[in-house]
Chains A and B, each alone.
Chain A
């Protein structure tokens, strides 16, 4: 425990800027993965344990596209679109068969696909770790804001994730398709009776969730080593985020992810050997005080 370091950081604008940015980066990447997870749970009522694999595929798709085209924009697009297509196929062929089944069955199917997807990645890209490398446009010195260090690439990352959050929030709240999705989440039988193809909605939501995780993987690819199984640790943290925020709540995922990011960032200064533990401790505190999470709804 180093509370002096934490106190001196909180009193220093430079440190506050650096650590807050660091927390936002961790948080926004987590949000992109967690929001897909929470969306799929909210609408499909499935705990998608294979969600981390889409993060992994997003990173690998982006790396491959970047190697072939040299375009960072195409790399990000490939990561997002590729995982959306993969999510749609996965949902239609496999996941749609376990809707309404026992949660244990759903978990087993998802876990089986975690292993299968890891092996697929191993077969295609090899077992060794890979690195995409930072695009030339971002190989520039960091910005110094109030004395704090902020890398330009991370500003892009935060911006893209925030834009995704805003677009997603508005689309679900205001657009017709958003209303249909919310209606399907609330009462799928009624939506189906109105002649709306719920299968299409389910497939679309799963693809959207996969796309968000893939986008996170693609954005992380330039700064993280790529390896089969890389989605697992992200998945665990995303589950923590969704549990803290409340399963099914998009706002909860955003707030939960930002809190976890900031806890990790400032916790690494004050509690360097307990940074991981802080995250779990926070989850326990939230669940004890609000069993449905910060923004979760009580189940009747």
Chain B
């Protein structure tokens, strides 16, 4: 019997139809995949004495993420922040970071905790290969030490070495003018405290060779009582004191030092004082404490910075902190890097981030740069001034010079064997 081909649906056309059907069925999935939200994990400190800083980090991130999402998201993908409390514990920060990537499906990590935990999160980023932007750790070695370097990790934070160069230059000027030769130090006993204090002293002695450190105190992080430290410093009778205590530790210390009238007995240089976290919490803020700027809306003295500070205050009914601007800047960097890469792929975004310069309200000249050779932030506004007990708290900030910072930082890196 002769097989005749029936008119109508052929095998070829059936396959074509099936293919078209499958394609049409798959189209929404493909579309969904392209429009799928991008999850960004954020292990940060939301409880304990540093919780205010962690909360302010989250607030700043959400403020910027809302802007990015309203403008269409990262390469068309809406950002979904997955934020977890690390409680300020390194092992918990590392565990959470790993869980955010492996279990929650986060494609990037933001924040990475304070210096006490950032090195642990850094190792997780190294292990998982996920894009990580540290936004809180100021310990210089995190990015300056080549052993720590990984292509997928960046640090969008002011740095201890930068602060120390500018602060020491400022302090040396006052030391020379007032004859302050005997100095004491009092800083928290962990990576940031040790590194930053060592760097400050290094440059203080470089700029004012007569200076001598006659007393050192290293209270542990989150220590509740500083009485023994305060009296030890008073016994040493220094003419000036440097401290990089911060947050609740700094306010506790000031409250306890205040009743010993410490601030009338010596010049105090507390690098972390000029942040609203400390400025607004200390009830009896002594006049005349020298401090580096952390976040204040009057420095850099630009309309963009003031507007950002006001927008934050309008939304959260409090002023932002040093961690706020750093986290906000990280989201700005991510947004620009994704635009440049035209992709949300971690590797491509990392490549785009390297050496990227963006417009930013916190830049010394209106821009900040993610330096290519060590993946760290440069060009941000940095300066020192003296406190008064009411707004604007630090009325006159003397800006640091980035040319000097770069020169001395390069020397420092060489001396540490980093280059």
A: residues with CB less than 8 A from B are 5, 9, 15, 18-19, 21-22, 25-26, 29, 118, 122, 127-134, 138-139, 141-142, 149, 151-154, 222-225, 227-230, 233-234, 264-265, 267-269, 272-273, 275-276
B247–A129 touching, CB < 8 Å: yes
B284 is an interface residue with CB less than 8 A from chain A: yes
Q: How many residues of B contact A (CB 8 A)?
A: 39
Whole-angstrom CA separation of A107 from B231 in the bound complex: 37
B281–A131 touching, CB < 8 Å: yes
Whole-angstrom CA separation of A114 from B183 in the bound complex: 42
User: Considering only CB atoms, which chain B residue lies closest to A264 in the complex?
Assistant: B228
Whole-angstrom CA separation of A264 from B55 in the bound complex: 34
Whole-angstrom CA separation of A19 from B282 in the bound complex: 26
Per the 8 Å Cβ criterion, residues 245-281 of B in contact with A are 247-249, 251-252, 255-256, 258-261, 264, 281
Which residues of B have CB within 8 Å of A118? 47
Interface of A is mostly: helix
Which residues of B have CB within 8 Å of A127? 46-48, 51-52, 55
Which residues of B have CB within 8 Å of A132? 283
CB distance from B363 to the nearest CB of A (A): 28
Contact of B281 among A5, A19, A129, A228 (CB under 8 A): A129
Contact of A268 among B228, B258, B259, B261 (CB under 8 A): B228
A275–B52 touching, CB < 8 Å: no
A22–B231 touching, CB < 8 Å: yes
User: Considering only CB atoms, which chain A residue lies closest to B50 in the complex?
Assistant: A129
User: Considering only CB atoms, which chain A residue lies closest to B247 in the complex?
Assistant: A129
User: Considering only CB atoms, which chain B residue lies closest to A230 in the complex?
Assistant: B224
Can you list 10 contacts pairing A with B, beta carbon distance less than 8 Å?
A: A5-B235, A9-B235, A129-B52, A131-B252, A131-B255, A223-B255, A225-B251, A233-B224, A265-B227, A268-B228
User: Knowing A129-B281, A142-B261, A229-B48 touch, does A15 contact B224 (C-beta < 8 A)?
Assistant: no
- B46, B235, B260 — most chain A CB neighbours (10 Å): B235
In the complex, the 9 A-B pairs of residues with the closest C-beta atoms, listed nearest first: A133-B283, A128-B52, A129-B248, A127-B51, A268-B228, A151-B259, A225-B248, A225-B252, A227-B49
Contact of A234 among B49, B51, B224 (CB under 8 A): B224
Whole-angstrom CA separation of A225 from B47 in the bound complex: 14
B259–A153 touching, CB < 8 Å: yes
B229 is an interface residue with CB less than 8 A from chain A: yes
B55–A26 touching, CB < 8 Å: no
Whole-angstrom CA separation of A18 from B284 in the bound complex: 23
A133–B218 touching, CB < 8 Å: no
B409 is an interface residue with CB less than 8 A from chain A: no
CB distance from B88 to the nearest CB of A (A): 10
A142–B259 touching, CB < 8 Å: yes
B36 is an interface residue with CB less than 8 A from chain A: no
Which residues of A have CB within 8 Å of B46? 127
Which residues of B have CB within 8 Å of A131? 251-252, 255, 281-283
Contact of A134 among B48, B217, B249, B283 (CB under 8 A): B283
Which residues of A have CB within 8 Å of B55? 127-128
Contact of B232 among A29, A233, A272 (CB under 8 A): A272
Per the 8 Å Cβ criterion, residues 1-53 of B in contact with A are 46-49, 51-52
Which residues of A have CB within 8 Å of B252? 131, 223-225
Contact of B49 among A129, A141, A142, A267 (CB under 8 A): A129
Per the 8 Å Cβ criterion, residues 180-225 of B in contact with A are 216-218, 220, 222-225
A275–B228 touching, CB < 8 Å: yes
CB distance from A218 to the nearest CB of B (A): 15
User: Knowing A129-B247, A154-B259, A225-B255 touch, does A268 contact B281 (C-beta < 8 A)?
Assistant: no
Whole-angstrom CA separation of A296 from B255 in the bound complex: 37
B: residues with CB less than 8 A from A are 46-49, 51-52, 55, 216-218, 220, 222-225, 227-232, 234-235, 247-249, 251-252, 255-256, 258-261, 264, 281-284
Whole-angstrom CA separation of A138 from B216 in the bound complex: 29
Whole-angstrom CA separation of A72 from B41 in the bound complex: 45
User: Considering only CB atoms, which chain B residue lies closest to A29 in the complex?
Assistant: B225
User: Considering only CB atoms, which chain B residue lies closest to A221 in the complex?
Assistant: B255
Which residues of A have CB within 8 Å of B224? 224, 230, 233-234
Contact of B231 among A122, A149, A222, A234 (CB under 8 A): A149
B255–A272 touching, CB < 8 Å: no
Whole-angstrom CA separation of A223 from B223 in the bound complex: 13
CB distance from B251 to the nearest CB of A (A): 5
B251–A269 touching, CB < 8 Å: no
A122–B232 touching, CB < 8 Å: no
CB distance from B156 to the nearest CB of A (A): 23
User: Considering only CB atoms, which chain A residue lies closest to B216 in the complex?
Assistant: A272
Contact of A227 among B51, B225, B227, B261 (CB under 8 A): B51
B227–A142 touching, CB < 8 Å: no
Which residues of B have CB within 8 Å of A234? 224
User: Considering only CB atoms, which chain A residue lies closest to B54 in the complex?
Assistant: A127
Given A15-B235, A224-B256; 20 other pairs, CB 8 A cutoff: A19-B231, A22-B228, A22-B231, A26-B225, A26-B228, A118-B47, A127-B46, A134-B283, A223-B259, A224-B224, A224-B252, A225-B49, A227-B49, A229-B47, A230-B49, A233-B222, A234-B224, A269-B232, A272-B218, A275-B228
